[in-house]
Every structure is written in C-alpha cells, then in structure tokens.
Amino acid sequence: MTPTVDDAQRLIAARVALTQQIDRGSAVLSSRLAGAFLNVPRHPFVPVFYRRHGDRFVPWRRTDGDAEAWLDAVYSDDSLITEVAGIHAEDATSEGLSGVPTSSSTAPSLMADMLDALDVREGDEVYEAGTGTGYNAAILSFLAGDRHVTTVDRTGALTAKARPRLGSVGFDPLVLHGDAARDFPGDTTYDRIIATASVRRVPPAWLARLRPGGIMVVPLKGALAGGMVARLTKLPDGTAAGHILHTPAAFMPLKSAPDRPVPPPPSPDGPCADAGVSARVLDDWTFSFFAELHLPPGLVRTYGTNDEGLHVTTLHDPADGSVTRVDDRPEGPPRVTRRGPRDLWEPVERAHRLWERLNRPRREWFAIEATPAEQNVRYTAPDGHVHRWRLSPPKAVRATGPRPRTASPD
C-alpha cells in the first residue's frame, strides 16, 4: 500500500515529536544525533509489538483498529516488547501469550544517551552486539555510514527480519547471526563497540577487538533491575578505563550459550533472623546497581507477595545451593530464612549500610577499569578513600555441541 501525502506528513511529524521529546530529557542531542532520529524512522522496525493485558502479552499491529494510537505508541519514548518466551510478536496469535519478554526495542532516550556516549563519527568502524529490531543499527548506519557497521545477534529470526527492514530505509550494514560476545568477521578491529543487551562484565573479546583510543558502551547487569551502563576508552597499553553513565538500564541479558533452566530452589527451612531492611530496597534503582556489586555472579532473584499481600524476595545461588528468603511482616522487622552454606541477604544489608554511609552515591560517580585479567568498579569518596569491587567472571558452561568459530550471515 502506497503511503498518502497525509501519511508521509504524519510520519515526519511523529519523528520530529520524538526527537523533541528525547531532547527535553536527559540526553542533550548533538546536531548529528538529532539528525539521525529525525531521518531514521522507527515504525518499519516494529511493525508488530506486544501490549500487556493483565498477565498476557497481546500483539498489536497498525491494522488492529486505531492506527493513530499505534503510531503514537511507536514514536513514544518507551521500550516496545517485540518477543516473549522466544515468540516474536509477528508470529503470535491474536490471543497473545504469557511468559517473559526476551527481546525489545529500546526506549529512544536511552538509545540516545548511549549513542551520545559512543560518539560515533563518520567512517568509524562500529560493532553492535545485539541486533534486535535493527533500529539502533539503522541509527549507527546513519552516523558512521552503513558499510562501516557490523551488527550481530544470536537469534537468527531477528537478524533475518532486521536485514530487509534496514534495506527498506536505505541501509545495508553487515548483519550477522552469531554469538556477539565472541564471534567477529575475520580479524576486524573497531573504533566503537556498543551492546544493546546486558553482560555481567565486559567480554574479553570486545576489549581485544577495540582499537586503541576506541570507545565501548556496555550495559552491566546481574540479577537485579536498574543496572549500569559503562563507557570505556581503550588505552595504549591494552587496558580500558572509563565511567558509569547516569542512566539506569535494565537490558535483557546477552545470550552466549544455550539456556540452561535453573530449577526452582527448595523452600528455605533453616535459621531465621530479623532483617535490617525490607527486600523492597532491591526495587530502588538508585540502590540496586550498588547492591549488585556485592552479589555473586549467577544469583537468581524471584519476588512477589504472600497471601497477606506483603513483599517476599527469594535469593538463590545455584553454584552452591544457598537460598535466602526475606518476608515482610504486618508488624515488626522483615524475617530472613535461609538454607545452605551462605546467607545471601547479609551482603545486601552490608551494601545498604555502606551506601548510606557514603551518602547514597550516584552511578555517574563511579569509574570502571578493565584489563584482560580483571575488571573493577571504583568509587573515590570525598575523603580520598577508594572503594573497589571486582566484576567476577560468569561461571563456565559446558558446551552441548560444536560452535562456529566466527559469525556468519543467515
């Protein structure tokens, strides 16, 4: 169907409104970045996305009734869920489904914050880990030139959809299906590396492939929401250093291995004690990033409410079987119940006490250092005392089959 003049004008107005909305937020757009959002449409990359209806996700198309409301949603400053439990919105039935979101189109203001930090110049060689819908790759193609952009995603269905959509708006970057944490075309190195999925720590291959003087922007996140976005610059000695951006980011994790379901932990039935704070503090994004620095990799958090409508959080470390549950109570302090060799709530309380003692430091006051052997987040207090937290590597996962050595087109 050929767009009418009114359609074209409406789409232009939508891009202008979105760009103005981003610019009024935390990202002050440069003229080049503003030009990218003005010239690259979002709607071709999200023709169908999910809306929440109770506990279900229902696909929404422009043809499903109110086209104006659909277009307003596409050009809002919101993330749009495009995949749930591995089912893309385009492949879902009209009744929708229940499950956990597994892919989305990032909120444009967060994209803008990260792209501003990445500082892409025309001609820069750019590597994007996590193609997703392809919208971010299109913005990168506008900024660097599409022949300088490589974008990789582990989900073949996503790269297969992204490639023609990029072509429909005039871009032809290299779109590869592979493991974005380690698969690269040949021996290419890059001036810029950006991830649109979260990692516990910077994959060593990204550090190795970044050219000296190059910039990397990477979301760091574990079990808790409200993760960090790190901006690092590669130094001549092969290390990288930088800082944490002010923006919280709860990106979905980058998948580098087949999913291995973690069985639900047994109910803790061991020692009980009073908690100093409610586990609801983990839902405070101003604190949760700091708590994450004190928790082991691989930790799993589940939470909800009990029969009385009070908050319950369970922390489980599959590495050693430790389980700790924190229950709010109608009266008195929350109750901690544990099972296994370690109390997983004690480091959270210790982190909260330190955070309060440091006067609730913000993300952007933290620095980050990465070497081939070790990665640390650092905070220097006003009195000069330096606090450091090591970003522990993820647990090794035994491969279940051969893995290709390099990424490849679909």
The mean pLDDT of the chain is 90
Coil/strand/helix, residue 112: helix
pLDDT value of residue 1: 44
pLDDT value of residue 407: 46
pLDDT at 201 over 50: yes
Dmax of the chain from CA atoms?
70
pTM above 0.85, yes or no: yes
pLDDT at 401 over 50: no
Contacts of 330 (CB under 8 A, 6+ apart): 308, 310
| Alpha-carbon gap, residue 177 to 74, rounded angstroms | 26
pLDDT value of residue 103: 87
More confident residue, 410 or 254: 254
Query: Which of 58-67, 96-105, 198-207, 257-266 shows the lowest per-residue confidence on average (mean pLDDT)?
Result: 257-266
Q: How far apart are the first and last CA of the chain?
A: 28
Which phi and psi angles does 51 have, rounded to 5°? -115, 145
pLDDT value of residue 257: 60
pLDDT value of residue 264: 78
| Alpha-carbon gap, residue 388 to 319, rounded angstroms | 24
Coil/strand/helix, residue 366: coil
Q: What does the DSSP 8-state code read for residue 308?
A: T
Between helix 108-118 and helix 31-39 the angle, nearest 10°, is: 140
Average pLDDT over residues 55-66: 89
pLDDT at 409 over 60: no
pLDDT at 402 over 80: no
Could you report the per-residue pLDDT of 309-349, keeping only the tens digit for each? 999 999 999 999 999 999 999 999 999 999 999 999 999 99
Closest CA to 72 of 136, 15, 116: 15
Could you report the per-residue pLDDT of 271-293, keeping only the tens digit for each? 899 999 999 999 999 999 999 99
Judge whether 318 and 298 are in contact, CB under 8 Å: yes
Annotate 214-251 with DSSP letters as a single string. EEEEEEE--SSSSBEEEEEEE-TTS-EEEEE-SS-B-P
Average pLDDT over residues 392-403: 48
Sign of CA dihedral 112, 117, 120, 126: negative
pLDDT value of residue 26: 67
Element spanning 31, H or E? helix 31-39
From the number of C-beta atoms within 10 Å of its C-beta (0-12, 13-18, 19+), residue 31 rates as exposed
Average pLDDT over residues 110-123: 96
Closest CA to 38 of 116, 108, 119: 108
Query: Which of 33-47, 105-119, 255-269 shows the lowest per-residue confidence on average (mean pLDDT)?
Result: 255-269
Element spanning 336, H or E? strand 335-339
pLDDT value of residue 400: 35
26: number of Cβ within 10 Å: 13
pLDDT-derived band of residue 28, with 50, 70 and 90 as boundaries?
A: confident
pLDDT at 110 over 90: yes
pLDDT-derived band of residue 133, with 50, 70 and 90 as boundaries?
A: very high
C-alpha separations of 304 from 314, 336, 343, 364 in Å: 9, 15, 20, 30
Could you report the per-residue pLDDT of 166-184, keeping only the tens digit for each? 999 999 999 999 999 999 9
pLDDT value of residue 403: 39
pLDDT value of residue 399: 36
Task: Tell which CATH classification among 3.40.50.150, 3.40.1520.20, 1.25.40.10, 3.90.550.10 matches the domain 5-94+104-197.
Answer: 3.40.50.150
Coil/strand/helix, residue 307: coil
